[in-house]
Structure 1
Amino acid sequence: MNDLNKAVEVVNQFLEASMEPNPTLAATFMDDDVKITFTGRREMANAQQITEFNKSRYEWVKKSIKQTDAVQKEDHCIVYSIGFLYGKWKDGTPFNGNRYTDRFEVRQGKITKMDVLNDSAEWILTPEINRLVE
């Protein structure tokens, strides 16, 4: 398996563990010095903080992955996971169609950087947007 395929596999396994949620398993795919930045420049140190943040925002959340793109760089791979979030907000309201793009850097089989972008903040500010999405 080449580095690019391995990087995509690592990211997909991380995302599966994150959606369980199983932060202990998810952490095994991350470098100890991983840099994690969520929308709004929220910096996190590890998979456990990601799970805690998601618990503060959602009753539950999953990803419908529509596309994965990967690029080989000199000393690492960049992997993009693109799709939609679905789940329930903390008030129990279901949602679907919330766009996301996650960007990962993978070095030597471990995620060293993760950038998370999604529409959740906009949807929280303007709840009627959720009703417009089928």
Structure 2
Amino acid sequence: MAAGTAAKLVDHYLQLCEDRDLEEAARLLAPGVRLVFPGDLVFTSLPEMAAGAGGRYLWVRKNRERYFEGEGDDDTAVVTSLGTLYGEDLAGTPFSDIRYVDVFVIRDGLIAEQHVYNDLSEAGFPLPGLTPPTPSV
């Protein structure tokens, strides 16, 4: 891929996901895509991923601050997106400035993998299926 092309693909995909245009975003995913999220959650479709986010927050968006591009194995491109998350928790309370890193593997012009790392758990958002810790007094 030409320099900058993979990062533009990723930025467009992330914007479509934020806009909840999951049908259009899915067109940017390779067959057999792996969407890997904290808590060892692996999804193979965007509707599955969106359903898996339920129970953590009402909504979330990304301040996408920087992209880094590199080459991977087997003619793949690798894009890393850095920034912060903001949104509303389940009670409707706003949150912001939560760090994230997304790593994408691009193969044949499509997203083959997305690996998501963020500090939501450290900020008190429980991983799906886990009970949040009780604060000590």
TM-score, normalization: structure 1? Answer: 0.86
Alpha-carbon shift at residue 102 of structure 1 (Å): 0.3
Letter in 1 for 2:8: E
In structure 2, the partner of 1:112 is 112
Cα distance in 1 between the residues matched to 2:103 and 2:52: 18
Matches of residues 20-59 of structure 1 in structure 2 within 5 Å?
Answer: 20-59=19-58
- Secondary structure of 2:122's aligned partner: helix
Alpha-carbon shift at residue 28 of structure 1 (Å): 0.9
Cα distance in 1 between the residues matched to 2:65 and 2:122: 21
Cα distance in 2 between the residues matched to 1:25 and 1:48: 12
* Greater helix content: 1
Runs in 1 of length 4+ with deviation above 3 angstroms? Answer: none
- Secondary structure of 2:20's aligned partner: coil
Contact 1:4 1:71 in 2 (8 A): no
Contact 1:4 1:77 in 2 (8 A): no
TM-score, normalization: structure 2? Answer: 0.84
Residues 96-120 of structure 1 show CA distances to partners (whole Å, capped at 9, x for unaligned) of 0010000000011100011001111
Cα distance in 2 between the residues matched to 1:52 and 1:25: 17
In structure 1, the partner of 2:67 is 68
- Secondary structure of 1:120's aligned partner: coil
- Secondary structure of 1:122's aligned partner: coil
Cα distance in 2 between the residues matched to 1:51 and 1:22: 11
Could you tell me which runs of 5 or more consecutive residues in structure 2 were left unpaired when the two chains were aligned.
Answer: 126-131
Contact 1:76 1:108 in 2 (8 A): yes
Alpha-carbon shift at residue 54 of structure 1 (Å): 2.7
Contact 1:18 1:51 in 2 (8 A): no
Residues 49-99 of structure 1 show CA distances to partners (whole Å, capped at 9, x for unaligned) of 222223432211110011110102350100001000000011111100010
Cα distance in 2 between the residues matched to 1:80 and 1:95: 23
In structure 2, the partner of 1:131 is none
- Secondary structure of 1:104's aligned partner: strand
- Pair 1:87 & 2:80 matched: no
Calculate the aligned-residue CA RMSD, in Å: 1.9
Could you tell me which runs of 5 or more consecutive residues in structure 1 were left unpaired when the two chains were aligned.
Answer: 129-134
In structure 2, the partner of 1:99 is 99
